[in-house]
Every structure is written in structure tokens, then in C-alpha cells.
A and B are shown apart, each in its own frame.
Chain A
Amino acid sequence: MNPIISVSNLSKVYSNGYRALNNVSLDFHSGEILALLGPNGAGKTTLISIICGIVNPSEGSVTVGGHDIIDDYRITRSLIGLVPQELTLSMFVTVWNTVCFSRGLFGKKPNPAYLEQLLKDLSLWDKKDSDILTLSGGMKRRVLIAKALSHEPSILFLDEPTAGVDVELRKDMWNLVDKLRQSGVTIILTTHYIEEAEEIADRVGVISKGELIVVDDKEALKHKLGKRQMMIELENAIDKIPDLLSSWDLELSAEGNQLTYTYDTYSTQTGIAELLRAVDGAGLQLKDVNTSQSSLEDIFINIVNTPLHTR
């Protein structure tokens, strides 16, 4: 299958010397939902901005639908709709006028029936004559989505779509994403939230410090990212981990008072029960037991330090 977007060896160095992207290569498949995960400043928005034509690449190339984004920008840009991260809207325009503006900007002839349906799908129809200034934050985000979809794109970029969004809009948005996917639209979204990626994406890519660390099917990645830790506090400090416990992946810390066990929540056997029995069997006295889910930040750091080489 030909990729709908193909990014090859893409790098971006901003004029202040900051390297936002470093030799990124990635194919986006037609009709998929791909989530790009990464901490702030990882380069997600830069990657999207280059594909959409907002930022010039320093090196490398991108094709959309087989066309180069620079040589054939008219074709590639007309295929793409972008919902930006910030609520960037002209405040003194009505909802209706702003979606008509967007459609025209992308070279599509007016189609009031389509735009009416779009606004209805986004629960914006009764606000169509309101100035954007008067809308709530959630409504403004809906307007941004309507603008991005106004020219019937076949690829939709959602940059941090759920940042600061309430539960209802989140639900509506995922319903819409689902509907769009069924109509064959390719969706690429960026997020900090791993749960979000798990919920709706087919594939997940992780970007950190301008590099694409891993891109894989959601299920495969879940195993790689879903780490938990159990901290076992001991009554009495020990010098080394007893041989009886050598088959578990344990670390001794806090001056011999704590054993840390890292395990995979998605595996069928976590081994917690056996470990606790073995600790008891080794004659160690338990003081307390804690578990923690590694934060996304930890996971990223972890991935960066130990590359998974699925690239």
C-alpha cells in the first residue's frame, strides 16, 4: 500500500540554531489514525507544520498523496485540514463567515449545504451568526475543527486536540474522528496523553528531542510502554538481593531498605503474588508495599535512554 504521507530524512533547524527535528522518516497509511506522542518541545508541532506548509524544512522531503509538498504545494495543501493547538481565530467574525472564508481559501467553490451539515455535526449551527468573540473556549475549538474540515480534506491533523477540553467536547470529538475515519479520512493527532492514544489510534509514534523514537501498532506499543513499579519497603536493610529473588527484575535502593520491581501491566502474569511469597520465603520482613505507574515523562525518558529499535 502506498503511504498517503511519506516523510523522508526530515530535519529542521530554526534560525536560532534550535534543532527541532532530526532526520525523521515516517510513512502515514491511508485511512489510519496515527497518534504522535511526545513531551512538550519534542518536535511534534514542527513536523505537522512542515507537512502543512507553515514551516520550511531544513533537510529532507515530504510527499502527500505522492506529490512533493514544495513543488506541488497546491495539490498537497488542498488535501490537508489542520486544527492547530492554540485557539487562533479572528474574534470579530461570525462562525458562518469564518468557515466560508476557510473553504474559499482552500480553493473550493461555496457549498452552503455541506457547511450547514458540518456545523450541525459540531453542534455549532445555532451559533452560526454569533461573533467568535462571544463563544466559549470549547466552542472556539469546535470552530477550528469546522474550519479545518470546511474544504473536505482527506487528511486531518489535530494538534493537541484535547488540551483544555471538557468531557463532552472530548466525546463529541472522538465521535467525529470515528465518523471521519469511516469515510476514509486519514487522521494524525498529537497528544501528551497516552490513554488518549490507546483509546483511538491504530498506530502510535513517539517523538522525543526531535527524533522519532518508535512507531508501532498500538497493541505492540502498549506492552513496551505500560510499565508499573512495585516498591517493597523492608523492615531491616540488606546488603544484596537474596539469590532466591534473582529471577525477578529487582533493584535494591534506599540504603538496602527498598526493593523495586518493574513489571508489565499488560502481560498475563505480573508475578507480583509469587514475588511477595518469595520475599517472605527469603526471610525478609515487609514494612510497606507501594505500586506506581511510570508517568509518561518517565516512559519517554526510558525510551530515549534505551531505544527500542523498531524504527
Chain B
Amino acid sequence: MMNTYAVRVIYKYEMLRAWDTIMQSFASPVISTILYFVVFGSAIGSRIETVEGVSYGAFIVPGLMMLALLTQSVSNASFGIYFPRFTGTMYEVLSAPISFAEILLGYVGAAATKSFIIGVIILITAGLFVELKIAHPIWMLGFLVLTCISFSLLGFIIGLWANSFEQLQLIPMLVITPLVFLGGSFYTIDMLPPVWQTVSLFNPVVYLVSGFRWSFYEVSDVSIQLSLFMVLLFSAVCLATVWWMFKTGYRLKQ
């Protein structure tokens, strides 16, 4: 039988942690998004014509949301599991009558929820600056939720793998941020030279941003089916990795 109390307390504890550091958790991603709007949307965007019929300011909204979602999901989830390992409080979770699936549900569920909230706040904030149109709300919501979950899973993996705070920051800094910036957040792929267009197709974030943007403006770099397939594939790979880590007790149990 599932230990629902345990899942609940882990989830609640993680959410409380976000609440205690509300400036860091919610305000800072919103502020940085507004800055992007000012710089890219207003300053640069005023010199750029519409992109495929969408004003540049509105065009970058899905990409900006993705940028925040990805970085926040990874940092929330990685910190959430790394910190108890670092302080040693993990002993309690490991000695509790709780399955690994339940541990995952508590930690990743909370991290994904926080990212989801941030995504919604950014969407509302963006609505104050530009005129938004959401052509396919269900798809939009679907991509939003899937992204939150899959990148929280990635964060969880990083949090289990990292053996220092430096390593914890390494992947978000060296991998996630470049992938997002080069993943078509601020442009469409066909704006790039042909070689870089091909290179971009190896960037999983391209599929995310493309699919997400399609759900807003029906403008995409790749087909929506391919986007969805890639997101699901990425989630599956993360889940399989976590399953392997739990199975072997990787960095948790000796």
C-alpha cells in the first residue's frame, strides 16, 4: 500500500521551502523575464519586424517561458534532493517505509509544481507587455506540464549525481542555459545559416520551444507531432535513468 502521508509531507516540505524563500523562488525568475522583455522585446524587438506574422515581443514569450521553466525545474529539483544528501538528513528518508517511486513523487512533484507556478506567473506578466494569443490552450498546458515534469526529473538526476555544490551548478550553467539560448527561444531556426539549422536539430530544446510556440501562434520549426514525441522521449529517458539510479542505490545507498 502506498505511503501517501510520506509523499504528502515531502511535497509539503518542499513547497514550504519555496515559500520561505519566495523572493528567490518566484520573484527572481519573474524579474529576469521582465528584463528579457525590456531588452529583447522592446529595445531589439522594436527594430525587428514581425516573425511569421507575430510581433517579436509576443514571439519570444513561449521561448522565455521555456527558459525559465527549464532552469527553474532543474535547479529546484536538483537542490531539493542534493541538499538532504549534503546535510545528511537523507538518512531519515532512506530509513522510512517509503518506496523510491514515492520519494520521486514527493520531490519531483513539488519541483514541477513550483516551475508550473512560475510559468503561469510569467505568462500573466507577459500579458501585461504584449498581446498574447493562445491558439491551442490544451496543447499549451500539456507542453507546460510535460516540460515541468521532465526537467524536474533531469534536475533530480543531477541532484543525485552531484557530489559538490559546484557540480550542482555545472550542468545548468554549462548545458541547460546554452541549449535554451541556442534552442530558438529568441528566433526561428530558419533564421540561422543552414549548417547551424542542422546542428540545432540535435538540440532537444528546439523541439520543446517549437511545440510550445506552435500552441500559441501555430508557428513552428518542426512538426507538433515530432515535438511531442521528443518531449515524451526525453521524459522516458529521464525516468529510465532515475529508475536505474534507484535500482542500484546510486549515490544514495552504499
**Chain A residues in the interface with B (C-beta under 8 A):** 14-15, 52-56, 73-78, 80, 82, 84, 86, 88-93, 97, 100-109, 147
Contact = CB atoms under 8 A, between A and B. Distances in A.
A55 B254 contact: yes
Contact of B97 (A74, A86, A97): A74
A104 B8 contact: yes
Contact of A105 (B20, B88, B93, B253): B93
Given A101-B13, A104-B9, A147 B92 contact: yes
A70 to B, nearest CB: 11
A54 B3 contact: no
B207 to A, nearest CB: 38
B27 interface: no
Contact of A55 (B88, B98, B253): B253
Interface of B: 1, 3, 5-6, 8-10, 13, 16-17, 20, 84, 87-89, 91-99, 249, 253-254
Given A77-B96, A101-B9, A105-B6, 10 more contacts: A52-B94, A77-B95, A88-B87, A92-B20, A102-B92, A103-B5, A104-B5, A104-B9, A107-B96, A108-B5
A54 B91 contact: yes
18 contacts: A15-B254, A52-B94, A53-B95, A55-B253, A56-B254, A77-B97, A80-B95, A84-B88, A88-B87, A88-B89, A88-B91, A93-B13, A104-B8, A105-B5, A105-B10, A105-B96, A106-B97, A147-B92
A93 B19 CA distance: 12
B6 A104 contact: yes
A80 B5 CA distance: 17
B246 to A, nearest CB: 12
Contacts of B10: 105
B73 to A, nearest CB: 22
Contacts of A106: 5-6, 96-97
A86 B93 CA distance: 16
B163 to A, nearest CB: 14
A121 to B, nearest CB: 20
Interface residues of chain B: helix, strand, loop or mixed (majority):
helix
A57 B253 CA distance: 10
Contacts of A80: 95
Contacts of A74: 1, 3, 97, 99
A100 B20 CA distance: 18
A133 to B, nearest CB: 12
A43 to B, nearest CB: 13
Given A15-B254, A52-B95, A53-B94, A107 B87 contact: no
A107 B97 contact: yes
B89 A90 contact: yes
B76 to A, nearest CB: 16
Given A53-B95, A86-B88, A88-B87, A109 B9 contact: no
A77 B91 CA distance: 12
A31 B89 CA distance: 28
Contact of B254 (A14, A101, A103): A14
A100 B10 CA distance: 11
Contacts of A102: 92
A107 B95 contact: no
Contacts of A54: 91, 94-95, 253
Contacts of A86: 88
B230 to A, nearest CB: 36
A140 to B, nearest CB: 12
A76 B13 CA distance: 25
Nearest to A13: B254
B13 to A, nearest CB: 6
Contacts of B253: 54-56
A97 B16 contact: yes
Nearest to A75: B97
Contacts of B13: 93, 97, 101
B52 to A, nearest CB: 48
Contacts of B6: 104-107
Contacts of A97: 13, 16
Contacts of B20: 92
A82 B95 contact: yes
A302 B158 CA distance: 48
Contacts of B92: 82, 102, 105, 147
Contacts of A101: 9, 13
A52 B253 CA distance: 12
Residue with the highest number of chain A CB atoms closer than 10 Å, among B20, B87, B89: B89
Contact of A90 (B84, B91, B98, B254): B84
Residue with the highest number of chain A CB atoms closer than 10 Å, among B1, B13, B17, B95: B95
Given A54-B253, A90-B84, A92-B20, A109 B94 contact: no
A120 to B, nearest CB: 22
A101 B92 CA distance: 10
A201 B16 CA distance: 41
Nearest to B13: A101
